[in-house]
Amino acid sequence: MPESDLHLDLSPTGPRRAALAAALRDAVRTGRLAPGTRLPPYRALAADLGVARNTVADAYAALVAEGWLTARQGSGTRVAERVAARPTSAPGKPPPHAAHAPHDLRQGQPDATAFPRTAWIAAVRRAVTAAPHDAYAPGDPQGRPELRAALADHLARVRGVRTSPDHIVICSGVAHGLRLLLGGGVLAGPLAVEPYGLPFHRGILDAAGVRTVALGLDPAGARTDLLATHPGTTGRHGARAVLLTPAHQFPTGGPLAPARRTAAVDWARARGGVVLEDDYDGEFRYDREPVGAVQGLDPDHVVHLGSVSKSLSPAIRLGWMVLPPRLTDAVLAAKGQREAWAGVTDQLALADFLTSGQYDRHVRRMRQRYRTRRAALLDALARTAPHVEVTGIAAGLHAVLRLPDGTEAATVAAAARAGLALDGLAAFRHPDSPQPHRDGLVVGYATPPDHRFPAALDALRRVLPPPPQHGAGAA
């Protein structure tokens, strides 16, 4: 800390040197000045306090003599290395997710060790250096133009999205997008949803007072073909918006069939409503059939939502909404006069990451890595638990393991006892889902670092229920 700023309350009367020494002593004693902290130069502190330079020098010298401070040639005056008690310090409490299970197969998290640090630092350097000065003024709530232009190109190329930078709004993630759309007065509830989904999103909708209407689900995906006749999505008070995960139903895993995509868009047109397309992992597909965004079918009736949470890291808080032009102004109004959420450094760096090709390169590298893990998961299950059906693995960062009826809760509990973090399918089920639950596990195979993945698979294998006994009395 070569130059420190320091606030001291000097008693207004009495000798300045003694008052300053007392104030410094108090600051060290109470822990306000931490051990090792470098004090400001005499000159600087003297100017701040309106006292003579020698007064500061004398006070420092007195405290060095008393052992509160240390002075060493070339490193200035520092607080001595003694433990200073902080008055309000509570006993150390681990943060909520610090208590890691030894094995982590929770869905939704990319391998944190794979974040492309060097490339990201380079992107920050290039982007911050090149940014115009207004990048550091209060931000446009629509998001940086560099990023919106890069996203318009990228999403067109990779996801088949048709838009212009004018109709993209940057946010801090898909959840923020949902808050703006449904809590910000842009769209009114109720909202039709899939019968399985992210509980976190349902929590946001509940907090915004938005009622959700669960659709059915079959092998072709959510029953959007019934939107036009479903009692919750017809009539004056029925839903005019539907939230879907068309590329990869979350978390059960199938893509929405072409006819169901068309049905959703047709319904939105007929109702004057919108389809909210949560494209949470559209970039990670392993089979031969790319599944484009529904948005490309009708940019005027689909809001396309995405983020970098899966592709880069959930710690980079950036997402986007591609909006029907008629909704753009309302979303901007909900967001406010100035950008209050998305930091400019991340926005500029992501724009550079996209246009320089680093983003594609990283996604390609991760897709290869996850493909290998997915193969290892399938191989381990085929060898040791061939009775467990695996679904939803054509895309994304997780698989669904179908379990025999009535075994899910016990399996999740056994996993917890074995130090294996994962979720049962029931955790994602809408409380009013119209169809019966099927037992299953949601296995995120992207979460652990590479070297811990085999052990996590081994832990998984050990907690899976045995094959159902046919003819139990046969033995």
- Residues 359-388 within binding reach of a copy of itself (CB under 8 A): 360-361, 363-364
Closest approach of Cβ 351 to a copy of itself, in Å? 13
CB neighbour class for 304 (10 Å; exposed up to 12, middle 13-18, buried from 19): buried
Site map for a copy of itself, 100-129, x if CB under 8 A? ---------x--xx-x-x--xx--xx--xx
Q: Which of positions 77-96 make contact with a copy of itself (CB under 8 A)? A: 86-90, 92-93, 95-96
| Cα 312 from Cα 295, distance rounded (Å) | 23
Closest approach of Cβ 237 to a copy of itself, in Å? 24
243 versus 316: smaller Cβ distance to a copy of itself: 316
Closest approach of Cβ 472 to a copy of itself, in Å? 42
286 versus 426: smaller Cβ distance to a copy of itself: 286
Q: Which stretch binds a copy of itself (CB under 8 A): 188-196, 236-244, 283-291, 379-387?
A: 283-291
Q: Which of positions 127-146 make contact with a copy of itself (CB under 8 A)? A: 128-129, 131, 133-142, 145
Would you list the DSSP string of 318-385? -EEEE--HHHHHHHHHHH-SS--SS-HHHHHHHHHHHHTTHHHHHHHHHHHHHHHHHHHHHHHHHHH-
**Contact assessment for residue 285 and residue 394, using Cβ atoms and an 8 Å cutoff:** yes
Q: Which stretch binds a copy of itself (CB under 8 A): 52-60, 216-224, 351-359, 409-417?
A: 351-359
**Residue 70, amino acid:** T
Q: Is 341 in the site for a copy of itself (CB under 8 A)?
A: yes
**Contact assessment for residue 313 and residue 288, using Cβ atoms and an 8 Å cutoff:** no
Closest approach of Cβ 434 to a copy of itself, in Å? 28
Angle formed at CA 463 by CA 462 and CA 468, multiple of 5 degrees: 100
Closest approach of Cβ 164 to a copy of itself, in Å? 4
49 versus 459: smaller Cβ distance to a copy of itself: 49
Q: Is 2 in the site for a copy of itself (CB under 8 A)?
A: yes
Count of residues interacting with a copy of itself (CB under 8 A): 107
Q: Which of positions 149-178 make contact with a copy of itself (CB under 8 A)? A: 152-153, 156-164, 166-167, 172-173, 175-176
What residues have CB less than 8 Å from 312, skipping those under 6 apart?
A: 110, 115, 116, 120, 353, 359, 362
Q: Which of 240, 228, 241, 242 is nearest to 195 (CA)?
A: 242
- Token pair recorded at residue 146: 């560099």
